[in-house]
A = this chain, B = another copy of it.
Amino acid sequence: MGRKRVTLADVARLAGLSQTAASMILTGRPDTRLSAEAHARVHAAAAELGYRPNLAARALRTDKTRTIAFISDVVATTRFANGLIRGTLEAADKAGHVVLLLETGGEPAREVQAIEAALDRQVDGFIFAAMRAREVFVPSLPAANRVVMLNATSRKHPVSVLPDEFEAGRAAIRLLDSAGIREGLALIGHNQVVEEGYFRSETVSRRLAGIRAEMDQRGMSFLAEESCWNWEAAHGYELVKGLLDRRVPVEALLCLNDRLAFGAYQALGEAGLRIPRDMPVVSFDNDELAADLRPGLTTFALPHEQMGQEAVRLLLAPEVEPFEHLIAMTAVLRQSLANIGGAD
Chain B residues with CB under 8 A of A232: 292
Find out whether the CB atom of B75 lies under 8 angstroms from the CB atom of A103. Answer: no
Q: Nearest residue in B to A53 (C-beta to C-beta)? A: B120
Size bracket of the A interface: 35 or more
Flag whether A333 is at the interface (Cβ < 8 A): no
Q: Are B103 and A100 in contact (CB under 8 A)?
A: no
Check A89 against B102 for contact (C-beta < 8 Å): yes
How far does the Cβ of A309 sit from chain B's closest Cβ, in whole Å? 13
Among A60, A70, A232, A262, the most chain B Cβ lie within 10 Å of the Cβ of A60
Shortest beta-carbon distance from A299 to chain B in Å:
16
Question: A178 contacts the other chain (Cβ, under 8 Å)?
Answer: no
Q: How far is the CA of A116 from the CA of B55 in the complex (A)?
A: 11
Contacts of A262 in B (CB 8 A): 292
Which of B85, B113, B259, B289 interacts with A75 by CB under 8 Å?
B85
B55 in contact with A120 (CB, 8 Å): yes
Confirm or deny: A320 has a beta carbon within 8 angstroms of a beta carbon on chain B: no
Task: State how many angstroms separate the Cβ of A220 from the closest Cβ of chain B.
Answer: 31
A76 close to B (CB within 8 Å) = yes
CB contact under 8 A between A100 and B102, given known A59-B56, A116-B52, A120-B52: no
Q: Is the CB of A82 closer than 8 A to any CB of chain B? A: yes
Q: What CA separation (Å) do A75 and B102 show in the bound complex?
A: 15
Could you say which of B1, B56, B78, B122 contacts A60, with CB atoms under 8 Å apart?
B56
Whole-angstrom distance between the alpha carbons of A296 and B277 in the complex?
A: 28
Residue of B nearest to A267 (CB): B294
Q: Which residues of B contact A89 (CB under 8 A)?
A: 75, 101-103
Min distance, Cβ A131 to any Cβ of chain B, angstroms: 11
Given contacts A79-B79, A85-B75, A89-B101, contact A57 B60 (CB under 8 A): yes
Residues in chain B near residue A83, CB distance under 8 A: 76
- Residues in B neighbouring A266, C-beta threshold 8 A: 294
Q: Nearest residue in B to A78 (C-beta to C-beta)?
A: B82
Chain A positions 89-141 with a Cβ under 8 Å from a chain B Cβ:
89-90, 93, 98-103, 113, 116-122
Report which of B55, B101, B117 forms a contact with A121, defined as CB distance below 8 A. B55
10 sample A-B contacts, Cβ–Cβ < 8 Å, listed by A number: A52-B119, A54-B60, A54-B120, A55-B120, A56-B60, A75-B86, A75-B89, A101-B101, A232-B292, A233-B292
Given contact pairs A78-B82, A81-B82, A232-B292, enumerate 17 new A-B contacts (beta carbons under 8 Å).
A52-B116, A52-B119, A52-B120, A54-B122, A55-B122, A56-B121, A57-B60, A60-B60, A75-B89, A76-B86, A89-B103, A90-B103, A93-B102, A98-B100, A98-B118, A101-B101, A266-B294
Which are the 5 A-B pairs with shortest beta-carbon distances?
A233-B292, A56-B59, A76-B86, A101-B101, A56-B60
